[in-house]
Structure 1
Amino acid sequence: MRNTAAFITPGRRAGLSAAAILATGLAGCSVLPQRPPPHALTSYRITLSDTHASARTSPACPAVRIAAPTAAAGFGGPAMRYSENPGTIANFAFHRWAAPPARMLEPILVQSVSASGLFEAVLAPDAPAGAPLQLDTQLLALLQRVTGPRSTIHLAVRASLSNVRTHRQLSAHRFVIDIPAQAANAPAGVQATDAAIGQFSHELNAWLAGLARDGQCSARN
């Protein structure tokens, strides 16, 4: 077997050593730009904390089922929406809802309407029992309107109460609520959203109470 090392001259050996050192240095220092570390994605839940049980002793209306809330086009996913100009909507890049807002609205509605004391029972959408009345809701809009350093949460929800047996809509109402946020960023928008949901729950129960006073929530209607 031929020994090739015997034919490498001292000068060539020095050149090879320099090339090896250079290659080692380049391996440790990439010529490609370094990617920044991935930005953490923060998720938020919508909460309702200020419900108070009604002092009402006898319900004015029969049982009601809370139908699963739906959402208008553009508001069905978990994206947190904001608008800087009328007619334009964008998503926060690193902030999102933990679930679609309409889905998070479901247990809030059950909690709030139950606390009103207006109905004999308040059933969740998947409850096996039946109810003569049904409350349907649609999330029409939930976005943060940004104007310079200020912002406002805009919430719009349509609600309707129907007689399940006759398939007759007893009444419907559109709720529009605007709550100023403390800053023009997503965390401030979340706080304002919770406040908007709390106000919506209060107005929804006031509307239902008005229907009860007018006798519109009877199962005979």
Structure 2
Amino acid sequence: MNVRHIPFARCLVFGALTLVAAGCINLSSLTQPPIQTAYYILEYDPPAPTGSKPSAPAIRVDRFSADPLYATTAMIYKKQPFQTDAYVYHRWHTAPADMVSHLLARDLRRSGNFAAVFGPAAPASAAYDIKGHVEIFLENDTADPWQAELLLTVTVTGPPGTGNSAVVLQKSYQASAPCVRNHPRAFAEAMSRAMQLLSEEIIADVCRIVETGEK
């Protein structure tokens, strides 16, 4: 036997053993874990109750509608004029219209100014209805720092059959709040502050109109 062939044979054996060993390795353990999607909500403290007897009648908050761009749980941002985009791994837990109408109903209820505050599914009747529309719910990245921009249109009417079905208020409410850092979580926090500001303004207007009839 030619001794020069022995090292080559040993290499073939070693290579075969290496391939067998590699086949025993669980390759799935070497892959990166999937990226988890983060979900965000609006969160802030409700208004403190006035402590006085409710001075306004019962009111209902209907589910808000939204422009098509915001009728989704996607977190929309804008980097330059005429162009918007959405995060892939960062989303709202529920659609903006649902969050806004839920928080406004909660704040109206916690303010203590109304005899009762009902949601859209409540069977009880109310003296006034609040309807709303989300026109802007956006992270504006064209500014530094980023800004949370919120624009709502609110309409207050009396329900049909009560003799007070006319529109008593229709007004647009707009607020913006800076993000403490350029990150989707900071956007959610800034949008919460913007919503809190608008909620306080809407409650003040509704109380004034319901109590005095002044538009």
TM-score under structure 1 normalisation?
0.79
Give the corresponding residue for 1:192.
190
Relative to structure 1, is the Cα distance of residues 117 and 15 closer, same or farther in structure 2, using a 3 angstrom cutoff? closer
- Largest Rg, 1 or 2: 1
- Aligned partners of 2:55 and 2:167: how far apart in 1? 21
2:142 corresponds, among 139, 143, 147, to 147
Count of paired positions: 205
- Aligned partners of 1:54 and 1:165: how far apart in 2? 30
Is this contact kept in 2: 1:118–1:212, CA < 8 A? no
Q: How does 1:118-129 map to 2 (within 5 A)?
A: 118-129=113-124
Question: Is 1:181 aligned to 2:179, yes or no?
Answer: yes
Alpha-carbon distance, 1:107 to partner:
2.6
User: Deviation string for 1:56-115 (max 9, x for gaps)?
Assistant: 43423x321110122111111111111111222111222111111221223311111123
Question: RMSD of aligned C-alpha atoms?
Answer: 3.0
User: Deviation string for 1:23-78 (max 9, x for gaps)?
Assistant: 33664799xxx754322211112123141112443423x32111012211111111
1:37 corresponds, among 33, 36, 39, to 33
Is this contact kept in 2: 1:159–1:172, CA < 8 A? yes
Question: Is 1:49 aligned to 2:45, yes or no?
Answer: yes
- Aligned partners of 2:125 and 2:214: how far apart in 1? 19
- Aligned partners of 1:151 and 1:15: how far apart in 2? 61
Once the two structures are overlaid, the 10-residue window that deviates more, 200-209 or 17-26, is 17-26
Which amino acid in structure 2 is aligned with residue 174 of structure 1?
S
- Aligned partners of 1:138 and 1:71: how far apart in 2? 5
* Unaligned runs of at least 5 residues, structure 1: 1-9
- Aligned partners of 2:49 and 2:58: how far apart in 1? 17
Q: How does 1:93-104 map to 2 (within 5 A)?
A: 93-104=88-99
Relative to structure 1, is the Cα distance of residues 87 and 55 closer, same or farther in structure 2, using a 3 angstrom cutoff? farther
**Percent of pairs identical after alignment?**
21
Alpha-carbon distance, 1:172 to partner:
0.6
- Aligned partners of 2:185 and 2:11: how far apart in 1? 61
- Aligned partners of 1:108 and 1:29: how far apart in 2? 53
Q: Which secondary structure does the structure 2 equivalent of 1:172 belong to?
A: strand
1:92 corresponds, among 79, 82, 87, to 87
Which amino acid in structure 2 is aligned with residue 164 of structure 1?
P
Q: Which secondary structure does the structure 1 equivalent of 2:83 belong to?
A: coil
TM-score under structure 2 normalisation?
0.81
- Aligned partners of 1:87 and 1:79: how far apart in 2? 18
Give the corresponding residue for 2:205.
207
